[in-house]
Structure 1
Amino acid sequence: MPERNKQFGLYGARGTKGHEAVARQLDALAGYIATPVTARRGLLARLRYLTRTDHARHRAREAGLTVTDRTLKAWLDGTRSPSRANLERIEQAYRTVRRENVARYLFARLNREGRGTRVEIHPINQSQVDRPRQRAVEYRTLNVRHWDRIVRAWAVGDDQGLDDAWVDQIVDLGSQWGQYEYVTNVGFAA
């Protein structure tokens, strides 16, 4: 696309890709368990979430948690503790399954029966850029009506798909949409 930045940060501008900020916001809306997996309480909460039904167990196995039922029971009972590698697998499986479960809810909530959700886009931080090289970039709002591709890419962890879906939405900002490829923050609520 012609507006894509090729050398972002060359003159000192700071920010993150817009789709990464959107993913952060969707993660916040997903409502993950706050207690870390390394704490007993956080481990038990994640294991209960991943093992409460046969469907959840199946999704956890697909997401990479491939231990036996006997091992899971020992972890839940507290007779054994998972290794550091297994803790990472538990966390990854939990986040994957949680994203899949929350995605259906977010589709409906963000699309709001075709009305969409207002998104606030905060521009890049140009405080470290020399004055003659600074762009006039302002805070913008946009009403995103079609969240399906964005949420679907976020749910499966497709970074490139999320970037493409996000760019398809910010093109609605007009001829200067490329100035919002990198941002300080993207905010919306569901």
Structure 2
Amino acid sequence: MNYKLFQAINQNAGHHPFLDGLMVFVTQNALIVYAIVLLLMWFVGKEKYKYTVVFAAITGALGLFINLVIGHIYYEPRPFVTHKVHLLIQHAKDASFPSDHTTGAFSLALAVLLRHRKIGFGMLLFAILTGISRVYVGHHYPFDVLGSIVVGLLVSTIVYNARSLLQPIPRTIINIYNQIPLVPKNGQSLSK
């Protein structure tokens, strides 16, 4: 079933130039897009957005750490290793399950969504597109993406529920940042 779902998505690759270009762009640049959004939130937003950025970074790092552990426990070869696929971008033949790109995208998006609905919803839509793009370009099976969504949900829920325990981390980072001269500072209250 996993391979059949993969084929249903990946069979379109290489036949639709616009869609190919979009999926390649998303799969190669998703985390850069997220970094830009988080940097804008940090530099343009009030202090509560800075807290969100730090919590999102913690969430993303935790998600990728869990992926690293899973990858050492369970090895699933990538689709292009075991099947003939429409591979749009070359990739290392490392573990396929779970998808680091999708885990990062969902971890960051959900971390923001839990605190700022509008921005988080946009990021979540882009995370969904990121997951689809990973299958489309031939790098992952749909279950790799699904596993990544589960990891993203898990870590975002854990970090959100532990935010009061983790509060000293963003507070310290923001206080250090606020001591730096000549950097933009918006809203210096400690609203969270």
Q: What TM-score results when the alignment is normalised by the length of structure 1? A: 0.30
Q: Which has the larger radius of gyration?
A: 1
Q: What TM-score results when the alignment is normalised by the length of structure 2? A: 0.30
Structure having the larger proportion of residues in strand: 1
